[in-house]
Every structure is written in C-alpha cells, then in structure tokens.
C-alpha cells in the first residue's frame, strides 16, 4: 500500500483537491447530440440518461464521443469487475469467437463444465466459509433469469418432497429488495414503482421487513417453499443484513423445510473482498467467524460473472439439484461456450487470494475517505454503509444533483434507493484512482450544497 494510503488510514485528513466543471453535458451542436438525434428515435425509452455517448474504455476509465475521460465508479452497475478493455479477456473473446460461440444445451461444450467446477471449488474452498454445501451450477444469461430459475427450483423441491398438489408454494422476500424485472423476479421485488405498472403480480409472494426477525416469523409458514434475500441490498440503498437476521432466516427455513436463496448478483464475486457477500456478515463475538457463516441452499449469480458479457448462474446444494430432472428448466443461450469461457477467466482472476486481499485494502481507503467526507458535510451526508468496493452514501436530499456535478467533473457515480449515492467501481481500480474519485466527490458535494 502506498505511503499516501497509509497516511489516510491512520486517521489523518485526505488531501482533497478542489475540482472544477470540465465535463459539461454536450452542447446541441456536439457529436454526441448529433448521434442521439439520429438514432434515439428508433430506441425504446426506458432509462433517463445524460446526453453523453461512451465509445471506449481502459481500466477504470471511460471515454465519450468528445474523447473526454471519466473515472468510472459504477462499473456498469457492478458488472465490469476486471475493468474496461482487459487485453487477455479481449484475446479470449476473439479466440473463442473463431472457434464456436453457440451450440445450445442439446450438446456439451468445452467451457460450461469447467466454469461450474471452478465456481463450486472456489466457493467450497473459501477460507471465509461461504456456502459449504455448494455442489452444482445451472448457467443462464442474466440476473433476472437466475432468480427466476431459483424460484422455480424451490417450488419443484417442495413438490417433489410433498407432492404436486402441495400448498407449499409461497415465497417471502423483503422490502427495499431488487431481484429483477421478469414477472417472477419482479413479484419478489416489492417496490411500487417497479410493480404497479405491470400488476397483478405472480401470486404467492409475501413481503417482510429487512433485518426485522419478527416480521419474518410472522410470514414464513408451512406453506413457504423459499425465502429470497440479498445479504447486502444493492438497489435498495446498500444495506447489509445483520448476522442475527440471516441466522434467524436459516433457522426459520429449517423449521418449515423452506429453501434459503441468497441473491448475490450484486454483492457476490469478490465485491466485498470475499468471494460472496454473505461471507462478510459474521458474528461479532465469534473466535472463528468463518465457522458461523450462514449457509444458503442456493446462490444466484450474474453481473461480475461475465465481466461485461451477459451470463448468469444458480449454484445449488445437492439436495436441491436432486429435485430437478430433465426438462424441468432450460435456456437456449445459457452456458454457451463464449460466455462460459469469459466467465471462467473472470472468476479465476477475481477470486484469487491476492486479488481479494487487495480489495480489502482498497476498502479501508474508501471507508476512511468517505468517513472524512461525512464529517466534512454533516448537514448533507447522514450515513456511510458498505464494505469492500460496494458503498452507499446516504444524503438528506435528492442525490441526483451530486451525480450530475460529479459527472461534470469527470466522475461517474450512480444512485440507489431513494436518497443514496452508490459506489461500485471496477475491482481492479487503483489506489490513486480511488483518491482522485474521492476528491471529485468531495468537490461535487461542495458545489451542490455550498
């Protein structure tokens, strides 16, 4: 770790540099505006986006049509774990593209099996103690599909165990959660703005309060086939579960024979400095926290898995796998050799012990810098939440003006929940880039709340 980082982590002040607006949104006569006027009329409008058009990137930076450089604290919403334009990744993409991209799941290919084996072995071999029962993997295309599949697997497990006419078909998920936009995953996402335009939802879902054990006990019954939860809620505002809460979920699921699904689509694959986010949630009084890690029956995976190429997966215990038979689930594109080969490279790289150790060090740099920002702006920043390279900065007012001010200074940050700035940079981000980004963030808050 650099001398500057040690200086910071010892509690002394972060050397903040005042920054100015150097990246205003493109003018009406710019290349970007011309591009958007030509092509946007042909595109469905489902996102509110600034009028910048990105063309390429490198490492932790992105460049727009005007060739302006932006420090990326978003990683495509926690996707670009290995950064932009990783050269070995690009070579693998080219090499596999010249061999075969797709064969369908009617046949085996060379890479789905090795990817599944790597995920299971890195998980069961983790010294941090996550999902000791990981046994098999289903590979799909996205996070929503992974959650959709996990919900199906839970019902099939219950039907095989109790009969196809069983009433054990209900689910419990949590307020502030986000599990996807397909009908099943959307039904598990109890946020009005997502659900209301598309109701009615799939029946059978009940919604408890995150980190509230009593609300869970009231809703998890003999009719519950699964509980799905994010160990760290991402879209909802970067809220980590407590150890006691996850432990109570495990106990309640065991009591009624329901499956426990951890949605690790955003918090998983080294984002927290551990392979899985639930490994970061430990009892405070344990001599060996890894021996107490709450164990799920399924983990859903996506985002970082492909390093930017679409892929998702469900990792399950053997008891869940034994409930699924030929024809129960499928995917045309899932597990294709190109996506699986790229994911194998990403997983192998970001779950290496040295890589994880580096994230833990970067985490302390963020923790110290963000704490200093909170101390500097107590009337603006109310709470800092997170670990590893997954941080939420709660502010008292709409965070959008800060997002805009940061972008105008060359820093990309996003929001989460209703009033939270979210930082999820590439896992390969460098210490000096973290310091640069914190300086821009500090200056951006000052410019909005002067």
Whole-number CA gyration radius for the chain: 22
Q: What is the pLDDT of residue 288?
A: 84
Q: Specify whether 79 is located in the same domain as 24.
A: yes
The answer to whether residue 302 sits within a structural domain is yes
Mean pLDDT of 366-373: 98
The answer to whether residue 97 sits within a structural domain is no
The answer to whether residue 345 sits within a structural domain is no
Contact between 84 and 72 under an 8 Å Cβ cutoff? The reply is yes
Q: Specify whether 266 is located in the same domain as 208.
A: yes
- State which of 302, 335, 368 marks the end of a domain: 335
Q: What is the pLDDT of residues 213-268, one digit of tens each?
A: 999 999 999 999 999 999 999 999 999 999 999 999 999 999 999 999 999 999 99
- Greater pLDDT, 291 or 426: 426
Mean pLDDT of 46-66: 97
Look at the block and give the residue holding tokens 């039904």.
187
Q: Specify whether 110 is located in the same domain as 224.
A: yes
Burial of 198 (C-beta count, 10 Å sphere; 0-12/13-18/19+): exposed
Q: Specify whether 171 is located in the same domain as 299.
A: yes
Q: What is the pLDDT of residue 13?
A: 58
CA dihedral 123, 125, 127, 133 (to 10 degrees): 60
Q: Cis bond leading into 298, ω under 30°?
A: no
Q: What is the pLDDT of residues 400-417, one digit of tens each?
A: 999 999 999 999 999 999
Q: Specify whether 387 is located in the same domain as 434.
A: yes
Domain hosting residue 82, numbered range:
3-87+355-448
Q: What is the pLDDT of residues 281-338, one digit of tens each?
A: 999 877 788 889 999 999 999 999 999 999 999 999 999 999 999 999 999 999 999 9
Which CATH number do you get for residue 331? 3.40.640.10
The answer to whether residue 382 sits within a structural domain is yes
What is the DSSP pairing of strand 411-412 with strand 69-72?
parallel
Q: 23-41 burial string, b = 16+ CB within 10 Å, else e?
A: beebeeebebbeebeeeee
- The answer for residues whose C-beta is within 8 angstroms of residue 84's C-beta and 6 or more apart is 56, 57, 58, 59, 60, 61, 62, 72, 426
The answer to whether residue 342 sits within a structural domain is no
**Which three-class secondary structure string do you get for the chain?**
CCHHHHHHHCCCCCCCCCCCCCCCCCCCCCHHHHHHHHHHHHCCCCCCCCCCCEEEEEECEEEECCCCEEEECCHHHHCCCCCECCHHHHHHHHHHHCCCCCCCCCCCCCCHHHHHHHHHHHHHCCCCCCCCCEEEEEEECCHHHHHHHHHHHHHHHHHHHHCCCCCCCEEEEECCCCCCCCHHHHHCCCCHHHHHHHCCCCCCEEEECCCCHHHHHHHCCCCEEEEEECCEECCCCCEECCHHHHHHHHHHHHHHCCEEEEECCCCCCCCCCCCCHHHHCCCCCCCCHHHHCCCCCEEEECHHHHCCCCCEEEEEEHHHHCCCCCCCCCCCCCCCHHHHHHHHHHHHHHCCHHHHHHHHHHHHHHHHHHHHHHHHCCCCEEEEEEECCEEEEEECCCCHHHHHHHHCCCEECEEECCCEEEECCCCCCCHHHHHHHHHHHHHHHHHHCC
Q: Specify whether 205 is located in the same domain as 322.
A: yes
Q: What is the pLDDT of residue 12?
A: 54
Contact between 222 and 272 under an 8 Å Cβ cutoff? The reply is no
Q: What is the pLDDT of residue 291?
A: 87
Q: Specify whether 171 is located in the same domain as 238.
A: yes
Q: Specify whether 235 is located in the same domain as 115.
A: yes
Q: What is the pLDDT of residue 15?
A: 57
* Helices 353-376, 431-448: inter-axial angle, 10-degree rounding: 20
The answer to whether residue 341 sits within a structural domain is no
Token code pair at residue 178: 């986000």
Q: Specify whether 20 is located in the same domain as 135.
A: no
Mean pLDDT of 5-16: 51
What is the DSSP pairing of strand 298-301 with strand 312-317?
antiparallel
Contact between 421 and 399 under an 8 Å Cβ cutoff? The reply is yes
Phi, psi of 163 (to 5 degrees): 100, 150
Mean pLDDT of 181-194: 97
Count how many residues are written for the chain: 450
Which CATH number do you get for residue 55? 3.90.1150.10
Token code pair at residue 203: 């029946």
Q: Specify whether 274 is located in the same domain as 132.
A: yes
Q: Specify whether 183 is located in the same domain as 260.
A: yes
> What gap in Å lies between CA 202 and CA 180, rounded to an integer?
13
Starting at the edge strand found earlier in the chain, the sheet holding 381-387 runs 381-387, 390-395, 420-423, 414-416
> What gap in Å lies between CA 207 and CA 204, rounded to an integer?
10
Mean pLDDT of 28-47: 95
Q: Residue 291 CB: number of other CB atoms within 10 A?
A: 11
Q: Specify whether 385 is located in the same domain as 425.
A: yes
Max CA distance (Å), the chain: 66
The answer to whether residue 344 sits within a structural domain is no
Q: Could you tell me which residues are beta bridge partners of residue 379?
A: none
The answer to whether residue 14 sits within a structural domain is yes
Q: Domains in the chain: how many in total?
A: 2
Q: What is the pLDDT of residue 11?
A: 52
Q: Could you tell me which residues are beta bridge partners of residue 233?
A: 239
> What gap in Å lies between CA 268 and CA 303, rounded to an integer?
9
Mean pLDDT of 94-106: 98
Q: What is the pLDDT of residues 134-174, one digit of tens each?
A: 999 999 999 999 999 999 999 999 999 999 999 999 999 99
């Amino acid at each position: 770790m650099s001398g500057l980082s040690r200086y910071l982590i010892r509690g002394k002040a972060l050397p903040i540099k005042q920054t100015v607006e150097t990246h205003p949104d493109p003018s009406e006569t710019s290349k970007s505006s011309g591009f958007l006027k030509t092509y946007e009329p042909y595109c469905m409008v489902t996102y509110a986006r600034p009028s910048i058009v990105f063309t390429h990137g490198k490492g932790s930076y992105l460049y727009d049509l005007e060739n302006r450089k932006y420090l990326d604290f978003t990683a495509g919403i926690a996707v670009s774990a290995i950064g932009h334009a990783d050269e070995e990744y690009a070579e693998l993409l080219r090499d596999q593209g010249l061999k075969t991209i797709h064969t369908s799941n009617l046949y085996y290919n060379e890479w789905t099996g090795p990817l599944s084996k790597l995920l299971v072995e890195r998980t069961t071999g983790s010294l941090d103690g996550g999902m000791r029962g990981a046994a098999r993997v289903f590979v799909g295309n996205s996070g929503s599909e992974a959650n959709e599949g996990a919900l199906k697997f839970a019902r099939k497990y219950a039907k095989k165990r109790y009969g196809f006419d069983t009433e054990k078909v209900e689910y419990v998920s949590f307020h502030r959660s986000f599990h996807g936009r397909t009908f099943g995953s959307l039904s598990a996402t109890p946020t009005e703005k997502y659900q209301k335009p598309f109701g009615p939802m799939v029946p059978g879902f009940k919604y408890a309060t995150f980190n509230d054990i009593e609300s869970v006990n009231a809703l998890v019954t003999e009719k519950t086939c699964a509980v799905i939860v994010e160990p760290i809620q991402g879209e909802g505002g970067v809220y980590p579960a407590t150890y006691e809460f996850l432990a109570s979920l495990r106990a309640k699921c065991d009591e009624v024979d329901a499956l426990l699904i951890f949605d690790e689509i955003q918090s998983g694959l080294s984002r927290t400095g551990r392979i899985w986010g639930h490994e970061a949630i430990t009892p405070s009084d344990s001599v060996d926290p890894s021996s107490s890690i709450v164990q799920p029956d399924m983990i859903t995976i996506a985002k970082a898995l492909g390093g930017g190429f679409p892929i998702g997966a469900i990792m399950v215990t053997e008891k869940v796998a034994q409930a699924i038979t030929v024809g129960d689930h499928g995917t045309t594109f899932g597990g294709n050799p190109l996506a699986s080969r790229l994911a194998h490279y990403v997983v192998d790289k970001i779950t290496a012990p040295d890589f994880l150790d580096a994230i833990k060090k970067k985490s302390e740099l963020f923790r110290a810098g963000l704490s200093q920002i909170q101390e500097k702006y107590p009337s603006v920043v109310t709470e800092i939440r997170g670990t590893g390279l997954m941080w939420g900065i709660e502010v008292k007012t709409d965070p959008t003006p800060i997002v805009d001010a940061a972008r105008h200074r060359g820093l990309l940050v996003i929001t989460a929940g209703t009033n939270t700035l979210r930082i999820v940079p590439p896992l390969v981000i460098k210490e000096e880039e973290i310091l640069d980004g914190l300086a821009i963030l500090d200056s951006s808050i000052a410019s909005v709340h002067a």
